[in-house]
Amino acid sequence: MLKKRILQIVILLFVAIFVTTGCNKNSTPDTEPSNQTADTPPALTGEELVNGRCIECHTMDRIKRDRSNEEWDEHTHRMLSKSPEMFTEEEFLRVLEYLQEQY
Ligand code: HEC
């Protein structure tokens, strides 16, 4: 009878170990979001953002022109209002900065 108990406990222990290692395996995806945030920092530069998104509706020719900082501010805000999901706020600032510096 006592032997049976011990056997039950041993089996329970094995099950517990199996479950916890199983949980550990399941919890590895938990580390993925932090990996993803580690992946995001190679964030696109202003240049890449402009080359990638601003040419969806017109060519770069339309963009490449000398403009004052105020004009860039105005243009980029107008473009953003056409396609608000184009950039996050941070990306938008990077784009504006790039355009103001570059053109
Ligand atoms: C959703 C489509 C769309 C996207 C995306 C877009 N544009 Fe435009 N863009 C337009 C349209 C349409 C016009 C012409 C009408 C106007 O000026 O509002 C224009 C005009 C412009 C002009 C004025 C050109 C001129 O001849 O004066 C500039 C500068 C410009 N875009 C820059 C950009 C930049 C920089 C981006 C990226 C941040 C961008 N656009 C993204 C649609 C877009």
* Residue ranges of domains in the chain: 46-102
pLDDT in tens, 22-63: 655 555 555 555 555 555 567 899 999 999 999 999 999 999
Query: 78 CB less than 6 Å from ligand 1?
Result: yes
| Global confidence as pTM | 0.70
Residues whose CB falls within 8 Å of the CB of residue 53, separated by 6 or more in sequence, listed in order: 86, 87
CA–CA dist 54, 4 (Å, integer): 73
What the block records as the tokens of 25 is: 């395996």
Query: 62 CB less than 6 Å from ligand 1?
Result: yes
pLDDT of residue 68: 97
DSSP secondary structure of the chain:
-HHHHHHHHHHHHHHHHHHHHHHHHHHHHHHHHHHHHHHSSSPPPHHHHHHHHTTTTS-HHHH-S---HHHHHHHHHHHHHHSGGGS-HHHHHHHHHHHHHH-
CA–CA dist 66, 93 (Å, integer): 19
The mean predicted confidence, pLDDT, of the chain is 84
Query: 103 CB less than 6 Å from ligand 1?
Result: no
pLDDT in tens, 1-22: 678 887 787 778 777 767 766 6
Q: Which fold has domain 46-102?
A: Cytochrome Bc1 Complex; Chain D, domain 2 (1.10.760)
pLDDT of residue 56: 94
Query: 46 CB less than 6 Å from ligand 1?
Result: no
Distance of CA 78 from the midpoint of ligand 1 (Å): 7
